[in-house]
Structure 1
Amino acid sequence: MVTYPEAELPARLAAQVADLEAQAWPGAGAGHDPALAPEVVLLLDEEGTVLASLALLRKTIRHGGRTYRAAGLSAVVTRESARGRGHGGRLVAAARAALAADPAVDLVLFSCDRPLVPFYEAAGFTRLPGTVLVGGTPEQPLATDAPGFAKEVLADFPGADTGADAFAGARIALYPGLVDRLW
């Protein structure tokens, strides 16, 4: 496993990540908003082929009258030919452990499609029933409960002195911008 700031990702690896993301999400743009300090975490085989990839994004949020240093997972993808072997689960669990060890992270929040909840729970994340992330911008919001979405919110609270109770069933103004509308 290797981690790079997205801007420093070697071209050979960046091309593989872009291909994997294009296969998983045709038509989606590549790369993340630099304002979110994107880091790319990769699981490589012995030859340097990307088996699985994800991005870690960070920003400060306000919730319940408090400020939190939030991180999130984005663009989690496993090479089609390598699926079903636990690579994605290992990568997500390693990302969770890295964020839990980061003293600059109070909490981890992200959304996923409902069928993927057990996958993320197996990596140690907690589902927040009824929680809605509001992404985009205040002027152009995109919420996880928007019509046609089947999203759930998951979290981890490594550095927060508050836990899931403060976030369960809440609308959380994430507002990561228009590039990473929801992470």
Structure 2
Amino acid sequence: MVTYAQAELPARYAAQVAALEAQAWPGATAGHDPGLAPEVMLLLDDEGSVLVSLALLHKEIRHAGRTYRAAGLSAVVTRDTARGRGHGGRLVAAARAALAADPAVDLVLFSCDRPLVPFYEAAGFTRLPGTVLVGGTPERPLATDAPGFAKEVLADFPGADSGAEAFTGARIALYPGLVDRLW
């Protein structure tokens, strides 16, 4: 496993990540908003090829009268020929551990498709029932409860002195922008 700031990702890995993401999400743009301090975590095979990739995004959010240093997982993707072998779970668990050890992270919040909840729970994340993330911008919001979405919100609270109770069943103004509209 290796981690790079997005701007420092070697070209050979960047090309592989872009190909994996294009396969998983045809037509999507590769890369993340530099304002979210993106880091790319990779799980490599023995030959140095990317098996799994994900991005860690960061920003401050205001919620329940407080400011939190939030991080989120985005663009988790496994090479199609390597799926079903636990590689994705290993990288997601490693990402959770890295964020938990980061003193600059109070909480981790992200959304996923409902069928993926058990996958993220197995890596140690907690589902927040009834919680809605509002992404995009205040002028162009995108919420996880938008019509046609089947999203759930997951979290971890490594550095926050208030845990899940402040975030469960809440609408959380994430607003990561128009590049990473919803992480």
Provide Cα deviations, 1:44-92, integer angstroms capped at 9, x if missing partner: 0111100000000000000000000000000000000000110000000
Q: Which amino acid aligns with 1:4?
A: Y
State the secondary structure of the residue aligned to 2:116.
helix
- With normalisation by structure 2, the TM-score equals 1.00
> For 2:13 and 2:53, how far apart are their aligned partners in 1?
10
Q: Distance in 2 between matches of 1:168 and 1:181?
A: 21
Give the deviation of 1:29 after TM superposition. Answer: 0.6
Name the structure 1 match of 2:162: 162
Q: Offset of 1:3 from its aligned partner?
A: 0.1
Structure 2: how far apart are the matches of 1:91 and 1:161? Answer: 26
Distance 1:164 1:129 in 2: 10
SS in 2 for 1:56: strand
Match for residue 29 of structure 2? 29
How far apart are the structure 2 equivalents of 1:43 and 1:30? Answer: 18
User: Which residues in structure 2 correspond to 1:34-183 (within 5 Å)?
Assistant: 34-183=34-183
TM superposition score normalised by structure 1: 1.00
Q: Percent identity?
A: 90
SS in structure 2 at match of 1:112: strand
3-state DSSP class of the match of 2:103? coil
**Cα distance in 2 for residues equivalent to 1:105 and 1:10:** 25
**Alpha-carbon distance in structure 1 between the residues aligned to 2:168 and 2:149:** 19
Deviation per residue, 1:5-49 (Å, 9 max, x gap)? 000000000000000000000001110000000000000011110
Per-residue deviation, 1:125: 0.1
How far apart, in 1, do the equivalents of 2:163 and 2:60 lie? 17
Partners of 1:24 and 1:162 in 2: CA distance: 36
SS in 2 for 1:177: coil
Amino acid in the other structure paired with 1:163: G
Mapped to 2, the partners of 1:32 and 1:125 lie a distance apart of 23
Structure 2, unpaired ranges of 5+: none
Q: Distance in 2 between matches of 1:161 and 1:137?
A: 27
